[in-house]
Structure 1
Amino acid sequence: MRILAFICILSLFSTAVRAQEADADALLRAAFDNWRAKSSDSEVTMTVHRPDWERSMSMKAWTQGDDFALVRFTAPAKDAGNATLKTDKGTWIYNPKLNQVIKLPASMLAQSWMGSDFSYNDLSKADDILTEYTHKLVKTEETGGDKIYTIEAIPKPDAPVVWGKLVVKVREDGVMLAETYYDQDMKVVREMTTEKVGEVGGRDYPLVMVMRPADEPEKWTRIETSSADFNIDLPSYLFTLSNLQNPRR
């Protein structure tokens, strides 16, 4: 029995040592680098499912660095032209029917985008989790031959964020597998899971990601990436208010 207990303790110690070898900050940065790269150009379909209806929208998305993102809807016709621009100066939306550009206050960035379960921050791939949270590696496991890391992110003091905690699962090659969102009372509010990983733009990538509210499991929103290019040159005018309203691309 003493030998068995010693083996169990040694096993737990070895697991802790292996966990310490991986850096939580670096793992999260790798996941965002894989997701966004230095720049990206992608085509995406978003499907919003509700118990009594379902609709799909197509969009083009561009990102550059940590601060710049542009997403423009291309279909269906009633949604085409709607766009969101994020820069280091703020976030704006454009409604082509009104021909109006509106700057969103920070308080609205966590709200639903186009009636989906994703927020403005989600679809612009905001990196608040990297800058406004402290990170701790809480679990390391192997699934299907891949090492999976679970990282807990806690807001820094006075950080301007809405979540009480985030828990992220990242594959060892930087593919994001899941993200669970907790409110200030540490209750799960929603969960995003990667349902398909495949190669796009020369890298393994979360091709299908689904967001589900915790208290309404019959509702979900699926994001499917059909094509993407990474680390490409993008024109300087792309992330401007002028291009948001009068698109050249």
Structure 2
Amino acid sequence: MKYFLKTCGLVFFFSLLFFSSHGQDAREIVEKMDKKMRGETMIVEMEMDIVRPRFSRTIGIKSWSKGQDYSMILITAPARDKGTSFLKRQKEIWNWVPNIERTIKLPPSMMAQSWMGSDFTNDDLVRESSIINDYNHKIIGTETIEGYVCHKIEMIPKPNAAVVFGRILIWITKDSYLQMKAENFDEYGGLVSTVYGHQIKKMHDREIPTVLEMIPADKPGHKTVLRYIQLEFDRPIEDGFFSVQRMKDLR
């Protein structure tokens, strides 16, 4: 009888462990991935190639971010866009346009619009929505992508969350919490775009995908490729750096 009770107790314990871990793992996995890609702070130089059937162009970018509440983006090239900047400060999004010397506060309705003519949205670049706090997460499978075994996680927006997409599927490597792929769906279930992570390399103190490829579902021949050139994690940045005035003075 003691052996039976002990065995039942172990089975019950491991059952609790299994179900509790699966209940919380999806959010934890997404949170670890997000933290690995952001760090406490992140300073990055990158290039964005916007590819269209009849032309392509490259945008130079430098950005600073701190947690989920603060980010600053500066356009460094081409010459006609140089000096344009974007600021996220908690729930406020601002854009400085040097050609007309005007600061514009972006309303939430503009978050789904194209960023600088690319296939990324304003929300993709400044992340007004939180992939951790604005969604419910669920592990729905396991798949291998480019040789990496990944959790396949479904993300459904919470009620009243101010998000762009109606559903997101995301593939995150099991051993190193790297995002290898994401599919974005509209509120009716239609595929909007797919994002791929490529060329995993060590940058600063960690390995990450150094190339992100965004491919819209309904525009053949269109894609946007984001390439990290230089990246630094966890350098202290004061909150005061992320100010409307600093937007105008970035170099």
Structure 2 runs not aligned, ≥5 long: 1-17
Match of 1:8 in 2: none
Q: Give the alignment's TM-score, normalised by structure 2.
A: 0.87
Match of 2:227 in 1: 224
RMSD: 1.9
Is residue 123–residue 164 contact of structure 2 (8 Å, CA) maintained in 1? no
- C-alpha separation between the residues in 2 aligned to 1:77 and 1:143? 38
Match of 1:170 in 2: 172
Q: Per the alignment, do residues 177 and 148 of structure 1 end up closer, same or farther by CA in structure 2, a change over 3 Å counting?
A: same
- SS state at 1:232 partner: coil
Which of 98, 111, 114 in structure 1 is aligned with 2:113? Answer: 111
Match of 1:46 in 2: 48
Match of 1:208 in 2: 211
- C-alpha separation between the residues in 2 aligned to 1:168 and 1:109? 20
- C-alpha separation between the residues in 2 aligned to 1:49 and 1:144? 23
Deviates more, 1:152-161 or 1:37-46: 152-161
* 1:86-125 equivalence runs, <5 A: 86-125=88-127
Q: Which runs of 4+ in 1 moved over 6 A?
A: none
Q: Give the alignment's TM-score, normalised by structure 1.
A: 0.87
Deviates more, 1:144-153 or 1:31-40: 144-153
Match of 1:23 in 2: 25
- SS state at 2:124 partner: helix
Amino acid at match of 1:117: D
Q: Per the alignment, do residues 127 and 160 of structure 1 end up closer, same or farther by CA in structure 2, a change over 3 Å counting?
A: closer
- What's the CA shift for 1:123? 1.4
Give me the identity figure in percent. Answer: 31
State how many pairs are aligned.
232
- What's the CA shift for 1:184? 1.2
Match of 2:152 in 1: 150
1:187 aligns with 2:187: no
- C-alpha separation between the residues in 1 aligned to 2:25 and 2:211? 26
- What's the CA shift for 1:142? 4.6
